[in-house]
Structure 1
Amino acid sequence: MELVTISDIEAAAKRVQDVAVRTPLLLQTWDPRETLWLKPESLQPVGAFKVRGAFNAIATLDDERRTRGVIAYSSGNHAQAVAYAAQRYGVPAVIVVPDIAPRIKVEATRGYGAEVIEVPIGEHEGKARELAAERGLTLIPPYDDAAIIAGQGTAGLEIAEDLPDVDVVLVPVSGGGLASGVGTALKARAPHARVIGVEPALAGDATEGHRLGRQVDWPQADRARTIADGLRAQPSDLTFAHLRAVVDEMVTVTEDEIREAMRTLARKARLVAEPSGAVTTAAYLFHEAELPAGKTVAIVSGGNADPALFAEILAG
């Protein structure tokens, strides 16, 4: 299987440089260890890192395919990213989402002009593929695509450039596109750094698979238990191959740890993080013994928190 290369990621960086925010690395002075930097991808135009991959994927399409339109399936952040990128390119977009997707993400996707179709959880990928065939649309998958992986990897390039002596990079893992791209970039540009994938324990399929050296399948109902709605997917063959090659270790965090990390990010870092975006900070705060020591970057992958849930967690 052919893996994404550093050259692919560098080409993607040129394509997305006028769209994706070059998010800063923020040293957290409240941290008594003074070894934590946050990379707030929550500050991207769509509130999550997904804009990097979506824009790169659409940028690589020829004019004919763009004119016909694109389609995507997503629980929310990839949905917004594809809708936003399509709007910027002036092409039609159809997004299929599970009916339990957070309303804030669904409405934001509609706000970018996309046609949104809601289906029961577990059926959104199949429905998107069916509609792609029926309407002649190009499918932009959330992670199982080389252009998506290369686009997400641009975040890793920025980390290597902004903190060349970084020791540890914590990356959320769901379908694995972000970790695949970031890990590839870091192995090429900061090879001394350890890349650690982080998952909710309730959706820890990639962690189990990484330990066993083979993919495992967790039922959708099990993965749906986590509050981190953006981390309920499973790696594909493509992303799992990348994870095996460029992710050094995997760590899982509990639901209570995710909630506490959200509170910490809001109160001390002044950042709004959705549950999926807080898992890396949770790993840093509560799993020090499982992590290598040194300068650590935690990617805050998204900030599209449901307002009611966010208020409930802050009040906790």
Structure 2
Amino acid sequence: MIRDDIRQPTREGVLDAADKIAAILPPTPLLPVTIDGVRCWAKAEVLQPVGAFKVRGAWNRLSALTEAERARGVVAVSSGNHAQGVAGAAKRLGIPAAIVMPRNAPQVKLEATRALGAEVVLYDRPGEDRDEVAAKLVEQRGAVLVHAFGDPWVIEGQGSAGIEAEGQLGRTPSRFIACCGGGGLAAGLALACPEAAIHVVEPQGWDMVGQSLAAGEIISVGASPPATICDALQPDATKPVNLSVLQGRAEPGVVVTDEEVRAAQRFAFAKLRLVVEPGGAAALAAALAGKVPLDESTVIMLTGGNTDAASFAAMLTAP
């Protein structure tokens, strides 16, 4: 389990992560997009080598491990995008990796994670506690847990996208609109660009970060949460480290529906020629639905593009 007493992520850590990531990856495009007559910007993290921004945090965390830690390996928990980020970084660094993934994760994500050489350990969602499964593996193997969002190195790595966007824009963004699961990206962006507003966007019924920000304490998902097509945005709760960064920094949480997400996927395909998975389109969905303010310095994060062809085609052709 993630401890509550881990070090706090910092802007200096984000800047260091940005340098490390720039050394191995080209910047993802910052694309102009017009919404309701306002020309703003979309950060195309869907074009990362693993199809999602998660490679940033994974690389920053794994490259910071000691030689002894690398030898013992890493364990991660993910429905797919963090899984691929960790698996890809582990393969490049020669580190054994075990990824705890839900059985009902999209098949394309399961196959891609295995193809990168990681061991996939399946669990039932709902039904099993994924953190407990991961904790047992960590204890048995002496491995390092690479949490998808509640890890300071991961948060700092995700924040590198903000440093990159600021450089491409040539000025500090007025706001970032971020797809939000546990809050790793949002926290990283908040540290990267202290003057920018941060809008967290979550699926309807899964707005645990938004509810936690409003309550000032961590709120967990209920016993029977609604179904959502945003498989990448379904953690049970955020972590103390994320809430501590976002409290007082993030704007009130925003919720989007499945239909709003599908509309955003269609928009991205038609206007930007990009394939965006449901969870990766949540921020764009909020912008298109008029749920967040927009101006010429707004950056919308398109966070992932790992979706199977049949589902994407069905979404595009649905009436």
TM-score by length of 1: 0.93
Give me the CA root mean square deviation.
1.6
Match of 1:76 among 47, 60, 80: 80
5 Å-filtered alignment, 1:10-89, equals 10-29=15-34, 31-89=35-93
Q: Shift in Å at residue 119 of structure 1? A: 1.1
* Match status 1:175 vs 2:158: no
* Alignment deviations for residues 80-115 of structure 1 (CA, whole Å, 9 cap, x no partner): 111100000011111110111111001000000111
Match of 1:206 among 203, 206, 209: 209
Residue of structure 2 equivalent to 1:263: 266
Residue of structure 1 equivalent to 2:315: 313
CA contact (8 A) 2:38 2:296 kept: no
Unpaired runs of at least 5, structure 2 = none
In structure 1, how many angstroms separate the alpha carbons of the residues matched to 2:98 and 2:215? 37
Indicate the SS of the match to 2:272.
coil
Paired amino acid for 1:256: E
Q: Shift in Å at residue 21 of structure 1? A: 3.5
Residue of structure 2 equivalent to 1:145: 151
Paired residues in the alignment total 309
CA contact (8 A) 1:195 1:249 kept: no
Q: Shift in Å at residue 240 of structure 1? A: 1.3
Indicate the SS of the match to 1:117.
strand
* Match status 1:231 vs 2:233: yes
Paired amino acid for 1:248: E
Residue of structure 1 equivalent to 2:301: 299
In structure 1, how many angstroms separate the alpha carbons of the residues matched to 2:29 and 2:281? 17
Unpaired runs of at least 5, structure 1 = none
In structure 2, how many angstroms separate the alpha carbons of the residues matched to 1:166 and 1:27? 13
Paired amino acid for 1:177: G
In structure 1, how many angstroms separate the alpha carbons of the residues matched to 2:172 and 2:96? 43
Q: Shift in Å at residue 136 of structure 1? A: 1.7
Paired amino acid for 1:7: E
* Match status 1:123 vs 2:129: yes
CA contact (8 A) 2:197 2:249 kept: no
Match of 1:8 among 5, 10, 13: 13
CA contact (8 A) 2:57 2:156 kept: yes
In structure 1, how many angstroms separate the alpha carbons of the residues matched to 2:229 and 2:155? 25
Indicate the SS of the match to 1:197.
strand
Paired amino acid for 1:250: G
* Alignment deviations for residues 172-217 of structure 1 (CA, whole Å, 9 cap, x no partner): 1111101000111110xxx1x3211111122112212222222212
* Match status 1:283 vs 2:263: no
Indicate the SS of the match to 1:247.
coil
CA contact (8 A) 1:69 1:138 kept: yes
In structure 1, how many angstroms separate the alpha carbons of the residues matched to 2:129 and 2:215? 28
CA contact (8 A) 2:207 2:253 kept: no
In structure 1, how many angstroms separate the alpha carbons of the residues matched to 2:140 and 2:14? 32
Residue of structure 2 equivalent to 1:154: 160
In structure 2, how many angstroms separate the alpha carbons of the residues matched to 1:105 and 1:57? 21
In structure 1, how many angstroms separate the alpha carbons of the residues matched to 2:86 and 2:254? 29
In structure 1, how many angstroms separate the alpha carbons of the residues matched to 2:265 and 2:115? 26
In structure 2, how many angstroms separate the alpha carbons of the residues matched to 1:20 and 1:203? 32
**Structure with greater helix percent:** 1
Q: Shift in Å at residue 169 of structure 1? A: 1.2
In structure 1, how many angstroms separate the alpha carbons of the residues matched to 2:88 and 2:267? 30
In structure 2, how many angstroms separate the alpha carbons of the residues matched to 1:280 and 1:256? 13
In structure 2, how many angstroms separate the alpha carbons of the residues matched to 1:175 and 1:20? 25
